[in-house]
């Protein structure tokens, strides 16, 4: 495995180079179950999801045999009650002494979940062995980014060279959210919802977005400049659409960043800017007086139409 590229549904198409292999004790599995603890917006807190159908795609289980899925809301301030643990273990079809062993394993996992600020711990499979052991054979853990300050040891283990795209790694250093796509119109937007809407309306007007780039609400001029660097580093980008609603963010800050970045990078692709909200009149004045060939748009639909037309 070492030196070869691992290709799965969770890697880029080119795969990820294998530099290390973890060797664990081999166990003889007689039965596989599924267990997950995650933060759930609908329940406003952690929930436990269990299924006796482990070792397989849990989404398929939920769709085809929903009766094999148990969801239990949990109290973030208390351990899981003993009765609940026993109920879950029996639902997972453990019997005899393994019921108690399963209950203990679940409680330990919930303690771990809270102690490391996890947003998800997925065990697939939670297995029963030929010796009557209950073991978390394979696990996936996700952590709350907001807890990085108190989970430094965990976040220091992050290996950025394994990230899907080096531009995503670079963007994250500047608190920018970037995801590459296959189109040719680069998008710079503040807010994930607005970014999704922007991509949708570009496609509605016959274009194709090259990326998802969310600069967030507390953006400054240097972040805007870095965002432009990342966008223009993609050879597929033939035009850029900036769509910012200034609620928290100051539109003038965005405008100054756009002008500075365009001049520094000697931008040579069409640029369409739609700004609305805080200090928008000042922002429009900055763009107008920049001497740059920046097209301004009155609304999102106008911006998308101009972006697509500029490529044609």
Q: What share of the chain is helix, strand, coil (3-state, %, to 5)?
A: 40, 25, 35
User: Does 133 participate in catalysis according to the annotation?
Assistant: no
b/e code 221-242 from CB counts within 10 Å (16+ = b) = bebbbbbbbbbbebeebbbbbb
* Alpha-carbon distance values, 107 to 29, 88, 101, 112, 127 (Å): 21, 11, 10, 9, 16
Among 110, 122, 128, 174, the active-site one is 122
User: Does 34 participate in catalysis according to the annotation?
Assistant: yes
Among 34, 110, 174, 178, the active-site one is 34
- Given its phi and psi angles, is residue 149 left (phi above 0), alpha (psi -120 to 50 degrees) or beta? alpha
* Stretch (H or E) spanning 179: strand 177-180
Provide the greatest CA pair distance for the chain: 79
Pairing state between β 16-17 and 5-6 = antiparallel
| Pair 2, 19: CB distance under 8 Å | yes
Judge if the upstream peptide bond of residue 125 is cis by omega within 30 degrees of 0: yes
Active site residues: 34, 122
């Amino acid at each position: 495995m070492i030196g070869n590229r691992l290709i799965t549904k969770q890697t880029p198409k080119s795969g990820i180079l294998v530099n290390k292999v973890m060797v664990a004790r081999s166990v003889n599995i007689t039965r596989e179950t599924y267990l997950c603890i995650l933060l759930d917006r609908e329940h406003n807190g952690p929930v436990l999801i269990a299924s006796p159908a482990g070792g397989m795609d849990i989404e398929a289980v939920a769709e085809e045999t929903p009766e094999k899925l148990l969801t239990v809301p949990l109290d973030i301030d208390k351990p899981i009650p003993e009765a609940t643990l026993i109920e879950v273990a029996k639902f997972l079809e453990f019997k005899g002494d393994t019921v108690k062993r399963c209950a203990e394993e679940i409680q330990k996992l919930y303690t771990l979940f809270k102690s490391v600020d996890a947003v998800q711990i997925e065990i697939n499979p939670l297995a029963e062995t030929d010796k009557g052991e209950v073991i978390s054979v394979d696990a996936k853990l996700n952590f709350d980014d907001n807890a990085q300050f108190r989970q430094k040891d965990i976040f220091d283990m992050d290996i950025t060279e394994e990230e899907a795209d080096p531009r995503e790694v670079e963007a994250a250093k500047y608190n920018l959210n970037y995801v590459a796509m296959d189109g040719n119109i680069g998008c710079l937007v503040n807010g994930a919802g607005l970014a999704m809407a922007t991509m949708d309306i570009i496609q509605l007007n016959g274009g194709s977005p090259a990326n998802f780039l969310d600069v967030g609400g507390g953006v400054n001029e240097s972040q805007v400049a870095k965002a432009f660097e990342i966008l223009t580093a993609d050879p597929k980008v033939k035009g850029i659409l900036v769509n910012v609603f200034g609620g928290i963010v100051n539109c003038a800050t965005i405008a100054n960043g756009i002008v500075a970045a365009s001049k520094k990078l000697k931008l040579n692709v069409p640029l369409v800017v739609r700004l609305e909200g805080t200090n928008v009149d000042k922002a429009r004045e900055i763009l107008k007086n920049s001497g740059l060939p920046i097209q301004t748009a009155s609304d999102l639909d106008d911006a998308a139409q101009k972006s697509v037309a500029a490529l044609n």
